[in-house]
Chain A
Amino acid sequence: MKVGIPRGLLYDQYHPFFTRFFTELGAELAVSPPTNRAILDAGIQCCVDEACLPVKVFHGHVSCLKAQCDLLFIPRIMRLYRGEYICPKFCGLPEMVLNSIYGLPETITEPFYADSMAGLRKWALRTGSRITRDRRRIKAALEAAIAEQLRFKTGYDDQGYPIRVALAGHPYNLYDTFINMNVRKKLNQLGIGVVTEESADEEEMAPEVAALFKKPFWTFARKTYGFIAASVARGRVQGVVYISSFACGIDSVILELVRDRIGDFPMLVLKIDEHTGEAGVDTRIEAFADMLERSGRVEDHHSPHGQCLSCCESPV
């Protein structure tokens, strides 16, 4: 039995769990290669036009894997924390893939609730029974997978740079160096270190999130907003770089909340989609780096909007 795992969406964050789980069950694994041009093109071809870039890339990974496995794993991640969602597209991801790509092998699409042990066990039993009948083995595989995931640390925390910025956005936009054109490397080359939300303290984020009128119901929104607000408020970073995929519904909300919270603190929003040209991205990053560097040298306050916002009462 060969289980195919597409290297898309939350793979970068949760691959220890999923790979360990399936190998413990005795399945052979087929993982798609890191995103490349061919995968992106395949994804664009079969995916519904309105979807965001990461979802298109995921489709590409699936169509690259479909001939190489007997059982295809399409994660339907419903919930990672109690009372929070990921994104509607994650909940409907299997349906999007199944109805857009032809010639798929059998698929695993069980809903994945990681907010309780009972939810995880239910998922593991249903998924595992497709591979083995041994319930004890499935339980052991789940334990091993959870332990493996807890040992896994991800995220960037660059030290030794004169300027540090918060690199924010959905994990699949941050860690897929093909679709974000390796923004981290570009920033590092300009002498800017990056920090991501994994390095932030949950306890610092909580009061920032609690100050909102309504508790955000998306995990991404809670973490990203909390991370940016906390690191700006505590002066840990000199700027914010936000990588956002075009037409991302969640980002449109997070960015608005963040802007409202941090005011005219320097923030660069990089929109990425399947057409993004690298030259334009380079120019924008260089301009942002120049601005950060100068604001350190010149005492006057430089606004990122091109006008001195601190002079006028209302920013609009």
Chain B
Amino acid sequence: MKITIPHMGNVYLAAKALFDGLGVDYVIPPMNSKAALEIGSFHSPEEICLPFKIMVGNYIQAIEQGADTVIITGSCGPCRFGEYCEMQMKLLRRLGYQVDFIVIDAPKCIGLKELMARIARVAAASPRSRAQKWRALAQAVRIMNLLDAIEAKAHEKAGYEKVRGTCKRLLHACRQEAFRCKTPREMLRCLHEYSRRLDQVPCDNSAKPIRIAIIGEIYTVIEPFSNLYIEDKLMDYGISTKRMMTPSWWMGNTIMSPLKINSPGIRMASRDYLPYYIGGHARECVGEAVLSWKEGFDGAIQIFPMGCMPEIVSKAILPAIARDKDFPVLSLVVDEMTGEAGYVTRIEAFIDMLERRRSHAVSRH
């Protein structure tokens, strides 16, 4: 069994650490690129959302490198993501690839027993002892949390750094070095080192950079390729960004949600605008817009793939928040046809607008 996973931001690093720790055979697909997207959009249904297409590209590239088992997570709707596994299995079978899918789905739709059976299939491939398996899982979770913390730190500090580009370079070096690590332990050490180095980046604490919150559909905000590296671009402009949606947030939220005690802040903040969970992360998007206004951000950028059903609802609500709170929100829709020039122009215009609001004393800063 040679396992692979689709890309989503830095998840591949945590997955690598987990598989290394478990001692199972795996393939990390090549980093997301035009090639993956082209393969994916060639084979995928036309109207399906962008994440599906990129993921299909990942699978095919990984299969070419010998992968025979795909692990993905699932959901029970009402967003389309829950149907990905079924469609992707059929699509790959039709293309003549022999691959197994292990779908880690919520226990409420497949039952706890089935979920355990599916996890056991992964665990059975590992030659390690039970204690070692648990340790590998714990280390992978720690790595994910640390990676998200490092990323958040770099994105925030980008507005304050004395030498423009220091944080961005450190962040990229961190990812590359972490990927070269052979064991989870080594990776943890490497991440701690980079976290420390980020803390030591010389900063101008009197600077008052523009601060933008990145909100929207979870895949397109986390996976930099799908949003045309918007966070890197904003770092280049010297803008401090924040994104609440991270893989580690998702893990915590998913574990807490059956008890309905997940993300109390978002629940409270979104109450006036969208008091129900309607699928996907629409409620989170609306809640984060309100929260980032409360936290004194200059504006927010919403990103979602073309045709994303939950985010269309939140896009209809965001203008009301912008109006009520005097809080600028830019909505960007991405798909395989998104052209970079037009995309960058819109971001730059948005930033210019935020800067001018400050100089004209319209904003609260």
Q: Which A24-61 residues have a C-beta within 8 angstroms of B? A: 47-48, 50-51
Q: Is the beta-carbon distance between A50 and B333 smaller than 8 angstroms? A: yes
Please indicate the chain A residues that have their CB under 8 angstroms from the CB of B83 in the complex. 214, 216-217, 221, 253
Q: Is the beta-carbon distance between A88 and B319 smaller than 8 angstroms? A: no
Please indicate the chain A residues that have their CB under 8 angstroms from the CB of B86 in the complex. 212-214, 257
Q: Is the beta-carbon distance between B276 and A251 smaller than 8 angstroms? A: no
Q: Is the beta-carbon distance between B48 and A316 smaller than 8 angstroms? A: no
Q: Is the beta-carbon distance between B276 and A248 smaller than 8 angstroms? A: no
Question: Known: A85-B279, A88-B278, A260-B94. Contact between A251 and B313, CB under 8 A?
Answer: no
Q: Contact size class for B?
A: 35 or more
- Interface 9-residue window, one of B3-11, B12-20, B130-138, B301-309: B301-309
Please indicate the chain A residues that have their CB under 8 angstroms from the CB of B76 in the complex. 217
Please indicate the chain A residues that have their CB under 8 angstroms from the CB of B312 in the complex. 48, 50-51, 89
Q: Is the beta-carbon distance between B319 and A256 smaller than 8 angstroms? A: no
Question: Known: A50-B333, A92-B274. Contact between A249 and B94, CB under 8 A?
Answer: no
Q: Which B96-110 residues have a C-beta within 8 angstroms of A? A: 96, 103, 105, 109
Q: Complex Cα distance A214/B63, Å?
A: 23
Please indicate the chain B residues that have their CB under 8 angstroms from the CB of A212 in the complex. 86
Give the residue of A50, A216, A251 whose beta carbon is less than 8 angstroms from that of B47: A251
Question: Known: A88-B282, A100-B316. Contact between A252 and B95, CB under 8 A?
Answer: no
CB distance from B11 to the nearest CB of A (A): 22
CB distance from B265 to the nearest CB of A (A): 20
Q: Is the beta-carbon distance between B333 and A249 smaller than 8 angstroms? A: no
Q: Is the beta-carbon distance between A315 and B316 smaller than 8 angstroms? A: no
Among residues of B, the one whose C-beta sits closest to the C-beta of A86 is B78
Q: Is the beta-carbon distance between B316 and A96 smaller than 8 angstroms? A: yes
Please indicate the chain A residues that have their CB under 8 angstroms from the CB of B89 in the complex. 213
A95 at the B interface (CB under 8 A): yes
Q: Size of chain A's interface in residues, with CB distance under 8 A? A: 41
B71 at the A interface (CB under 8 A): no
Q: Is the beta-carbon distance between B276 and A88 smaller than 8 angstroms? A: no
Q: Which A69-110 residues have a C-beta within 8 angstroms of B? A: 76, 78, 83, 85-89, 91-92, 95-96, 99-100
Q: Complex Cα distance A48/B103, Å?
A: 34
B224 at the A interface (CB under 8 A): no
CB distance from A289 to the nearest CB of B (A): 25
CB distance from A23 to the nearest CB of B (A): 28
Give the residue of B48, B85, B306, B310 whose beta carbon is less than 8 angstroms from that of A88: B310
Q: Is the beta-carbon distance between B78 and A217 smaller than 8 angstroms? A: yes
Q: Is the beta-carbon distance between A214 and B96 smaller than 8 angstroms? A: no
A111 at the B interface (CB under 8 A): yes
A287 at the B interface (CB under 8 A): no
Q: Which B30-62 residues have a C-beta within 8 angstroms of A? A: 43, 45-49
Chain A residues at the B interface, C-beta cutoff of 8 Å: 47-48, 50-51, 76, 78, 83, 85-89, 91-92, 95-96, 99-100, 111, 212-218, 221, 247-253, 255-257, 260, 314-316
Could you list some 18 contacts between A and B, CB below 8 A? Answer: A48-B316, A85-B279, A91-B277, A91-B278, A92-B278, A92-B317, A95-B274, A99-B316, A100-B316, A214-B82, A217-B77, A217-B78, A249-B308, A249-B309, A252-B45, A252-B80, A253-B80, A253-B83
3 closest A-B pairs by CB: A92-B313, A85-B78, A217-B77
Given contacts A83-B109, A314-B95, could you give 12 more A-B pairs where the C-beta distance is less than 8 Å?
A88-B79, A92-B314, A96-B316, A99-B317, A213-B86, A214-B83, A218-B77, A221-B83, A255-B45, A260-B94, A315-B94, A316-B43
